[in-house]
Amino acid sequence: MFNQNKSVYLDSRGHANLDSFPLRYGIHYPYSKTIDLYNCCNWQKDQKFSDRFHVDANFMGKHNIEEFGHFVLAENQFNNMKIVTVWKHDMEVEYKLSNWLRFLREGNNISVKDLLEFHPYYANGTATNFEEIYKLLLNRDVKKITNTKLEEIAKNFQKEIENKQEELDALLKIKLKMSEKNTQLSNELDQANKKIKEFEQATFKEENNKANAESGQKVVVTLGDKLLLIKVNDVLHRGSSCTELEFSNGEKQWMKKRTFDRFGLITQKAKSLVNETVITSSWNPKPNPTLWKNQCYFRNIYKAN
């Protein structure tokens, strides 16, 4: 069941297709379909619903752009598990947001079209929680509901969410498990940093700062083990032109040159470190802090102490 690649079922009439995908990814499917998830990891059994599971995964989104999501899946009578919902950010905030969207839609106060229009605001970080969606609805030029009615709806929703505290507490236990995993990884990162040659540490700090700046602090830079580099090759890997590192223990790592080394500087540095003990870095999404590291992709290379 807990495979790295997973085909899952999306019900066109369900919450995921009517609320989650439109707001978070700008997608709505007019028909039920199968979605292929890949790089699935961090499988967790739901604490409240015995037939549900949580998993972090990638999938192909709008315009065939790779997307990342935290999926809640449910077993059913069919072969493929069903998508209950999908989130992108903090579990607690996203849980309340999902319930708020469903509450608005089921009361005929918001539509799929509205959520598709709201997607750019979600994408730029200005409509990612209950309060921000509420404010967005208040400030719309063309209001479908009066401010008085919206205030009443919001009060009723707050009462409903209070009754779901048990479900939220169960979700927070899953969040805690993942947080503990990230803390452990952070400690490992600090220890690994000490293994880099002192003159390399400033470069590594710059890499961390760049990762945070480009991703809005949604990425963690992971360092690998000390390895003896024996060869650097230009290869095709998974259909992409890559720099390949070969190590004395038989391990190989890859970097897509077109995306991450367009001017060949990292490849040139790697070639200068052949027959040296090195450490490589990889950038991973915080909800899935070993995603690319486990697939043996690297972003930079450092001389080890």
Judge if 241 and 136 occupy the same domain: no
Residue partners of 109: CB distance under 8 A and separation at least 6: 144, 145, 149, 150, 153
Judge if 152 and 293 occupy the same domain: no
Residue 192 has what pLDDT? Answer: 55
Among residues 144, 162, 180, the one where a domain terminates is 162
Look up the CATH number of the domain holding residue 250.
2.40.50
- Give the mean pLDDT of 116-135: 88
Domain that holds residue 218: 194-303
Tokens representing 50? 């015995």
Instruction: Count CB atoms within 10 A of the CB of residue 114.
Output: 18
Q: How much of the chain is helix, strand and coil, in % rounded to 5?
A: 40, 30, 30
Q: What percent of the chain has pLDDT over 90?
A: 32
Judge if 60 and 149 occupy the same domain: yes
Per-range mean pLDDT, top range of 79-93, 130-144, 176-190, 203-217: 79-93
Tokens representing 58? 């990638």
Residue 183 has what pLDDT? Answer: 63
What is the pTM (predicted TM-score) of this model?
0.55
- Report the distance separating Cα 34 and Cα 83, nearest Å: 10
Torsion 159-112-53-283 (CA) sign: negative
Mean pLDDT for all residues in the chain: 83
Per-residue pLDDT band at 16 (split at 50, 70, 90): very high
Judge if 20 and 95 occupy the same domain: yes
pLDDT tens, 228-265?
999 999 999 888 899 999 999 999 999 999 888 988 99
Looking at the 3D structure of the chain, how many domains does it have?
A: 2
